[in-house]
Structure 1
Amino acid sequence: MKRKLIALDLDGTTLNNDAVLSPTTIKTIQQVAAAGHVVSIVTGRPNRISQQFYDQLGLKTPMINFNGSLGHLPHRHWDKEYQYTFSRDIVFDLMQHQQEFDVEAMAAEGKTLFLANQIKPLAYGFFPTALTQQQLLSQQSLQQNPTSLTIALKREAQPRFIAYVRDHYGDLVDVNSWGGPNSVIEMGAKGIQKAIGVEFLAHLYHINREDVIAFGDENNDNEMIDYAGTGVAMKNATPHLKMLADDVTSLTNEENGLADYLQKAFNLEDSVTA
């Protein structure tokens, strides 16, 4: 079989609903990689909370984080690494409006950057429950332009917040709300999304677009699924993503749907078990 590039979203796709890699998923992905195909994680997550999955899978390929804004080789210096950022002045301005938009927490991040402020009690997993003095976000501590800004706020404040950002900085950043139960806004450099990272990987490995297989479940996967020669939406994906996709898994992420699809596509022997 011709070598493929397989781009894996994490949450709701490769991970189950407990944000865990099942043994079946690990084994299947390792089998596909051992067969000579390029398997890469392409996630909206920061590298700080995705590298453990990269290590569990035993991957050696570049990882794409922050929805395409960071491409790097974990644990290694790499001269092809890239990172898109936006002006920290935007963060400073939004910090001045935190009370107005009822912001609960804000985190500015990059490959080696993590600064946050937690204004109200919060139980979202991606925000640490306790911040050290060195992690506190302020005009003094934020010395570099961030790759991503994540904001937790009341859901009813989302439309006003998004409208403010688009009105003032719409030519510099993209702003979107997360799917799922948590009311979270995410910001990144204008025009950068997962398809940018997948295209970078395809060029790096000299793999044609038609030989790219991408898996996803949420709206931040839209461009990646559309770009891939075979865009695969999970059974549990958003209706819009399923419309964009070339195929849909017959099982959900909780049922090892990605492993099941790969086993059938690559004629692997093992059958999926929950």
Structure 2
Amino acid sequence: MSKYKLLALDMDGTLLNRELEISKNTCEWIHRAIDSGIVVMFATGREVQSIERYVKQLGLESPLVSVNGSEVWTSPGSLLVRHILTEEWMKELHGIAKDQGCRYWAYTVDHVFTSENWPEELERPDGDPWLKFGIHCDEPVLLQALRARVEALGHFEVTNSSPRNLEINPRGINKASGLREVCRLLDIRMEEVAACGDSLNDLEMITAAGLGIAMGNAQEAVKLAADTVTGTNNEDGVAQAIRMILGE
């Protein structure tokens, strides 16, 4: 029996291949992990609506960490905790992105807004608060300057899901904080968690988990921080990782 009781999987660039699908081989190994007693769950930057079809495909009833930790779910459809960005913070972020002429987007509970359909008013109705803000920029130097500017404000967690973007949540909120909530819920220690990811928004959970696994296509900082590196998302790297965890 594996010493790991929980397997947290990032989705884009990790579980999902270039066609944004879960391969048949990876599905089979996920079910072998579940059959062995390991709780398999998603820990993703995605909003929960875009996770649903994959949850159904795998038949998961496990907890979820979505929007980089801004939402934690005890099971699909059952919210445990939500962390929000205030309207004032959103005003700051929107101003920074717009000043630099960058593309930007944001998630609320029920909507995705972009620079193309940005709302005139930042105040949100009850039940639909802001959860995450994103900035896309193809110029590395400018992106680094933007990151420094956002971090200097002092109340944001800044990561990325690709080398060309920034993803911004409330300070202290990330996939690791979400996993700690799940561990308390399930009475599991972080040392008993294995986590797979590829981008900087996976870095905190990879370093906090008992076994941090970087994908073969991961950003270099993630590979350096991980305990081990598996195959790429197009080589069924998650399946390879599960096989290692199960000792098969």
1:142 aligned residue:
124
**How far 1:177 sits from its partner (Å)?**
4.0
| d(CA) in 2 for partners of 1:11, 1:35 | 25
**How far 1:242 sits from its partner (Å)?**
2.0
1:116 aligned residue:
113
Structure 2 counterpart of 1:114, which letter? H
1:179 aligned residue:
162
Structure 1 counterpart of 2:167, which letter? E
CA contact (8 A) 1:177 1:186 kept: yes
CA contact (8 A) 2:104 2:136 kept: yes
Q: Which runs of 5+ in 1 are unaligned?
A: 120-130, 269-274
Q: 1:24 to 1:148 in 2, by over 3 A?
A: same
- Aligned with residue 245 of structure 1, among 226, 229, 234: 226
1:83 aligned residue:
82
Residue pairs, 1:193-212, within 5 angstroms: 193-212=174-193
Question: In structure 1, the residue corresponding to 2:77 is in which secondary structure?
Answer: coil
Deviations 1:202-238 (A, max 9, x none): 2211222222111111222111111111111122222
More deviation, 145-154/4-13: 145-154
Q: 1:190 to 1:30 in 2, by over 3 A?
A: same
Runs of 4+ residues over 6 Å off in structure 1: none
1:67 matched to 2:68? The reply is yes
**How far 1:246 sits from its partner (Å)?**
1.6
**How far 1:5 sits from its partner (Å)?**
0.6
More deviation, 238-247/15-24: 238-247
1:266 aligned residue:
246
**How far 1:263 sits from its partner (Å)?**
2.4
Structure 1 counterpart of 2:210, which letter? G
CA contact (8 A) 2:91 2:122 kept: no
The sequence identity of aligned pairs, in percent, is 29
Structure 2 counterpart of 1:174, which letter? E
| d(CA) in 2 for partners of 1:246, 1:12 | 18
**How far 1:94 sits from its partner (Å)?**
3.8
Question: In structure 2, the residue corresponding to 1:200 is in which secondary structure?
Answer: helix
| d(CA) in 2 for partners of 1:195, 1:49 | 21
2:149 aligned residue:
164
Q: 1:115 to 1:16 in 2, by over 3 A?
A: closer
Structure 1 counterpart of 2:115, which letter? Q
Deviations 1:44-71 (A, max 9, x none): 1221222221221111011101111210
| d(CA) in 2 for partners of 1:94, 1:208 | 35
1:271 aligned residue:
none
**How far 1:42 sits from its partner (Å)?**
0.5
| d(CA) in 1 for partners of 2:78, 2:45 | 22
Q: Which runs of 5+ in 2 are unaligned?
A: none
| d(CA) in 1 for partners of 2:114, 2:119 | 5
**How far 1:73 sits from its partner (Å)?**
4.5
1:92 aligned residue:
91
User: How big is the alpha-carbon RMSD for the aligned residues of Structure 1 and Structure 2?
Assistant: 2.4
Larger Rg: 1
- Aligned with residue 255 of structure 1, among 231, 235, 240: 235
1:234 aligned residue:
215
